[in-house]
Amino acid sequence: MANDASTVFDLVILGGGSGGYAAALRGAQLGLDVALIEKGKVGGTCLHNGCIPTKALLHAGEIADQARESAQFGVKATFEGIDMEAVNKYKDEVISGLYKGLQGLIASRKVHYIEGEGKLSSPTSVDVNGQRVQGRHVLLATGSVPKSLPGLEIDGNRIISSDHALKMDRVPKSAIVLGGGVIGVEFASAWKSFGTEITIVEGLKHLVPVEDENSSKLLERAFRKRGIRFNLGTFFDKAEYTEDGVRVTLADGKTFEAELLLVAIGRGPVSQGLGYEEQGVAMDRGYVLVDEYMQTNVPTISAVGDLVPTLQLAHVGFAEGILVAERLAGLKTVPIDYDGVPKVTYCHPEVASVGITEAKAKEIYGADKVVALKYNLAGNGKSKILKTAGEIKLVQVKDGAVVGVHMVGDRMGEQVGEAQLIYNWEALPSEVAQLIHAHPTQNEAMGEAHLALAGKPLHAHD
């Protein structure tokens, strides 16, 4: 293994999650000599403890709901229950296939892969397995872990994190989900489909609070119809064991009891004890601070992914990792417009968006300069066939470009690709209205919404 002091890599990457491995693959593709250090499995949180396994659970839940509801489509089917052993087998097979593929990519690009727990030892080196790996540049990509609150101990028994939830061998009869953001509502949705009685506790006034308020309200309405209970606007106070479960008390004294408590209040950066501060890297609340090109205050060190205070999304990590690799290879790079990043919450129904909210647009441009239009999926043939409800909401600067696309409904995540082109290419409603969208598709709703915003609605009232 050529990782002694006599070998100097062009790029040494600490962390093999989305941001780290994307930088490794792109860097190697551009001719950089890359060393990638990972203490666990390449692929990181997204592949092993996040995006992929949760979406597998959600799909299993969708199949369960379809079996229960098949009669409305004229199909006679019976739902006999959830076999968690089989569900986990399906989930793990998906992960395993992608993991093997990623390992193959790393090998084929000739990335020097080192398995072990690394620590930044100088502005140009990482120590791992008792050896020092030298580089002209170091990329920090050590990711994140589930967060908790002061005095709330995640014990993996009755009080669990998303990591524990992904490995459960049973379906809980009841659960309290602390946190109504992406992680919380996705687990709430999957478990409800499996048959769990759910109560979500969110301290802010809406579910998925970073989304446009209209999207939050639509999701709340859909969750009520599904029998998912939630308590909004009051913060958590304490949790304690009962005889056969857990009791959660809120700041106003209200209590809830269930078999278990899922703590889903977000994820915090993995940065403690890794040598960052000792080497002079500027930090804030555990996050590594970077400029728009992902460079820290130390010229030879960059950082990407959940470790930096940007959107905690795998595709953001990919983009940040690629940006760093291309910058180091001498290519011209463009900073990421984080408003232009597509966001999808994969609950039932899905919530998808790109761009800014109506409230943010009014704050930036002035209330009289912002136009908002809602297109109800009830007017979309394919959505009618699927029996999904929801809306596409467009936010436009008056006489100008569309600056926000906000969608709620089953499979809306599949429409966010065109939505991000509309936002990022600063498209006018009239320009999108000229494009022909296939009929009958849910994608057609995107075209219909822009037709309406352009002043020539077809399958919608004036």
- In sequence order, what are the beta bridge partners of 139? 13, 302
Catalytic residue among 206, 406, 439, 461: 439
Rounded (to 5) percent helix, strand, coil in the chain: 35, 25, 40
How far the first Cα of the chain sits from its last, in Å, is 69
- In sequence order, what are the beta bridge partners of 263? 178
Q: Is 439 part of the annotated catalytic residue set?
A: yes
Query: Computed over its alpha carbons, how large is the radius of gyration of the chain?
Result: 24
- In sequence order, what are the beta bridge partners of 239? 248
Distance CA 189, CA 207 (A): 13
Distance CA 207, CA 198 (A): 14
Give CB contacts under 8 A, 24+ apart, made by 435-443.
439/381, 440/380, 440/381, 440/382, 440/385, 441/382, 442/377, 442/380, 442/382, 442/383, 442/386, 442/409, 442/411, 442/412, 442/414, 442/415, 443/414, 443/415, 443/418
- In sequence order, what are the beta bridge partners of 396? 371, 402
- Which DSSP letter does residue 310 get? S
Active-site positions read: 439
